[in-house]
Amino acid sequence: MTSPEQTPSTQAVRLIFEYEGESVTLVAQQPVDTVVSGFDAHPDVSPGHFVEARDEDGHGLARVAARGAFQESAEVFPEDHSEPITRVDVAARGAFTVLLPAPPEATEVAVVRVDRAGSGAQPFGGATSPPPGAVSDVDLATFRLQR
Amino acid sequence: MTTTDGTVQGRTQIFGSAPPNRAFSVVLLGDGFTAAQQTDFETVCKEFVDALIATPPYDELAPAINIWRVNVTSTDSGADDPASAPGGTGATARTYFDSTFGGNGIRRLLVCNNSTVLQTAAAQVPEFSVAIVVVNSTVYGGSGGSVGTYSLAAGATEIALHEIGHTAYGLADEYPYYAGGNETGHDHHPAGEPGEPNVTLNTNRTTLKWGWAVAAATALPTMSNPDCATVDNRASTVAAGTVGCFEGAHYYHCGAFRPEHNCKMRELSIPFCRVCRQVIWNRIGPLATLPARDRTPISVVARYPEHLDVFAVASDGRTMSDWWDQSSGWAGWFQLSGGFASPGGTGSPITSVARYSGHLDLFVVGTDNRVYSSWWDRSSGWAPWFRVGSLVARPGSTVNVVSRYSDHLDLFTTASDGRTMSTWWDARTGWAADWFQIGGGVAANGASVTAVARHPFHLDVFTVGTDNRVYSAWWDDRTGWSAWFPLPGISCRPDSTVTAVARHPDHLDLFTTASDGKIMSTWWDARGGWASWFQIAGGVASAGSPVTAVVRYTNHMDLFVVGTDNRVYSTWWHDTTGWAAWFNVSGGLAKPGSQIAALSRVTEHLDVFSVGTDGLVQSTWWDGTGGWAAGWFRLAIS
């Protein structure tokens, strides 16, 4: 019987990616002794970009949001704070990082774009089309984890 | 203009004492500060710490926050300020992170080499949560994304606080325009619910993602934009702090709603709204231990043997939960749907029941002394708190719940005038019309009404009456409610709890404390009726501490209580050996008069919880193979 306190912390890995458009490269990875709270380790399934740890068979083990990644606009802040914050279009180029739970069986990580079904080229309505509001995953890149 | 234009000097922790692997860690990195200007950077960092920790809810989350300063010297002072951006001076500066104003031709857009920043932060503080670059220039500017930047201009710290909202918590922008409000193509938000927690297209009260924060009297939508061709700049039509649905958010004039009229995610220098504060709480709060109300009982449920759900009330009244799963450890404390518990008496506890493994029902008396319920279902997550009937309960009273079968709940509590009250829920008919008084009974001040179901169609209930005697009543499907009758032989404290367990359908064991603190028991058996009260193994409890009983087998019980020396004590009864002597559990101490929660997930295992003398929720365990754990641990995240 496993007792509550005896459960070992899940190992996390720090990953740093660089991207241009949706071309993404992994530029750094390092194990980190830290917890990843449920807030980050159990994100809602919603459109956006995520990083996922997978086992040898490609099964997802953990997923965290890639916040601040692949941004195509930037905020411009007013010096007078009562004035509106505005956004401007920018080239999607830069870097982002995640802390990802990496259980021992994790062998690779994937950068995943989650689309709202129907937001892409595929129209709704076919008998096999996903229902409006459903989401679908697109792998942008996968990388081996150094264990 | 590369990393050859400077040197990383090292890191210094400037705020916090949280364990590094259980902290929300902010890293501040300087750019454009020469070796001679490092003290300027350090001064700016102190100002950031003061600003962050003074900003709700960070002010309450400080125990889980660490802030680090990474000193980096640059060859030159300042940042690039290209003349190609209107207002730019054309200045250039050789700096480590390559900071420059004038991003996209806009002078205030201050950007840097994010990859270098992230790699530097990771090398210095591997567990960091967010990285922020402070640029040594008095020109106003900043930017967000994966790295926040801000300059030394007055008010620029607000940029960092707003950007942390995006980077650390995934908060959306709540402003209703893209380019200031005069743009085209932003009249109506496109279809598709945004994933962020603080904007929505949905104004249905029952499914609104922040429905828990909306008062029943608040109209939804709360404010609608009368002209979607432009931004609604009217002042709020409701009181400040009202949570509802205010139209205009997420870069669109209409169709998207924000929780309050204003918020830091809409306008700098404004406090975070209630919903954003809760999101920040839910990210950082689970990293910390929980200061709990000293004497408010803890509730614990095992929906299945490899899982625990623990419910406690924070010292400020927040309704909190933590869960443990054998596969993932402790999740960390989080607030349940924004709830607050009544502070009267020992404080209203959260009570819980699992009618089946994928479902929890919770009950509490709120700060308005009404009874509230929430539920969690594996398929839908947590529901908002809702009011159960019209009862005004005694401040701080306990709502005890029994599930006689999986489609039925019976609730018991005391009204503001002490009447012993009940109501029920059934899957076929929903909630009963309202609460009703049981058998004309009135409970002593602070007494609770406890209940046990020996059969699916029978209930036994217990309380301490106004004469401080123990009383019982029963309900049977065939005969209805009986009158209350006394179980004479002891006089109790008015706020004593009568703990009842049914080891088998024809037997009851009761436990309580007498007015002199003696730990007393009696039993009822279908063949012999009620026995006399007797003291258990000479035990005396801390004043007000209830007796907790766990039945691991039909012929074995374990008891827990806080003793007069505030140590946590246990004893057991076995049919062949009788009552054992009381012993101290793993060296544990608890708050005077507090309760010990215990349950058995499997027969050879006990999990025990209490509020320690430091006010934090703690736990230990017993296992048949290894005995009691060596000590207690504080519940947080693991």
**How distant is the alpha carbon of residue B623 from its chain centre?**
29
What topology is assigned to B3-169 in CATH?
A: Collagenase (Catalytic Domain) (3.40.390)
Residue of chain B minimizing CA distance to A135: B192
Q: Give yes or no for residue B452 having a pLDDT over 80.
A: yes
Q: Is the pLDDT of residue A124 over 70?
A: no
Interface contact flag, B334 A38, Cβ < 8 Å = yes
From A38-47, B457-466, B507-516, the region with the lowest mean pLDDT? A38-47
pLDDT at A6: 44
Question: How far does B235 lie from chain A, in Å, by closest CA?
Answer: 13
Of B167-181, B215-229, B458-472, the least confident: B167-181
Residue A10 is predicted with a pLDDT of 53
Whether the pLDDT of residue B502 is over 90: the answer is: yes
Most A CBs within 10 A among B107, B146, B152, B232, hence the mutation to make, goes to B146
Q: What is the rounded average pLDDT for all residues in chain A?
A: 82
3-state SS class at B510: strand
How many alpha carbons lie under 13 Å from residue B328 in its C-beta half-sphere? 21
Contact A7 B104 (CB under 8 A): no
Decide if pLDDT at B289 tops 50. yes
A23 touches chain B (CB under 8 A): no
C-alpha span between B53 and B281 (Å, rounded): 13
B267 with A82: Cβ contact below 8 A: yes
Segment B90-107 shows an average pLDDT of: 95
- Rounded to whole angstroms, the Cα distance separating B638 from B626 reads 22
User: What pLDDT, on the 0 to 100 scale, is given for residue A4?
Assistant: 59
The domain limits of chain B are 3-169
Chain B residues touching residue A5 (CB < 8 angstroms): 619, 621, 629, 633, 638
> Which residues 38-57 of A have a C-beta within 8 angstroms of B?
38-40, 44, 46-48
Establish if A144 touches chain B: CB-CB under 8 angstroms.
no
Cβ neighbours around B107 below 10 Å, total:
21
Say if the Cβ atoms of A1 and B170 lie within 8 Å.
no
How many CB contacts within 8 angstroms connect chain A with chain B? 190
Contact A9 B638 (CB under 8 A): yes
Burial call B249-276: b when 16+ CB within 10 Å, e when fewer: bbbbbbbbbbbbbbbbbbbbebbbbbbb
CATH class of A9-144: mainly beta
Phi, psi of B53, deg, nearest 5: -70, -20
d(CA B92, CA B80): 4
Does B395 sit behind a cis peptide bond, omega within 30 degrees of 0 on the bond before it?
no
pLDDT at B51 over 70: yes
CB spacing of B638 vs A48 below 8 angstroms:
no
* Per-residue confidence (pLDDT) for residue A41, from 0 to 100: 74
Alpha-carbon gap, residue B470 to B493, rounded angstroms: 10
pLDDT at B33 over 80: yes
Report the distance separating Cα B486 and Cα B488, nearest Å.
6
Contact A49, A111 (CB under 8 A): yes
Secondary structure, 3-state, B158-183: HHHHHHHHHHHHCCCCCCCCCCCCCC
| pLDDT higher than 70, residue A118 | no
Asked if residue B402 has pLDDT above 90, the reply is yes
What is the arithmetic mean of pLDDT over B324-336?
Answer: 87
Instruction: Point out the residue among A10, A37, A77 whose CB comes nearest to the CB of B108.
Output: A77
Does the distance separating the beta carbons of A14 and B126 come in below 8 Å? yes
Structure token pair of residue B321: 């939960």
pLDDT tens, position by position, A17-66: 999 999 999 999 999 999 887 777 776 667 889 999 999 999 999 999 99
Put simply, the answer to whether B332 touches A14 (Cβ < 8 Å) is no
Q: How far is A103 from chain B (nearest CA, A)?
A: 10
pLDDT at position A3: 55
pLDDT (tens digit per residue) in B520-574 = 999 999 999 999 999 999 999 999 999 999 999 999 999 999 999 999 999 999 9
Which two three-digit tokens encode residue A30? 């390092």
Q: Is there a cis peptide before residue B221, judged by omega within 30 degrees of 0? A: yes
Point out the residue among A33, A88, A97 whose CB comes nearest to the CB of B118.
A97
- For B372, the 3-state DSSP assignment is strand
CA distance B25 to B223: 38
pLDDT at B498 over 60: yes
For the ranges A1-15, B104-118, B306-320, the lowest mean pLDDT is seen at A1-15
**Quick one: average pLDDT of B236-258?**
97
CB B252 within 8 A of CB B266: no
Mutual angle of helices B38-53 and B157-169, in 10-degree steps? 60
pLDDT at position A5 over 70: no
Mean pLDDT for all residues in chain B? 95
Q: How confident is the model at residue B331 (pLDDT cuts 50, 70, 90)?
A: confident
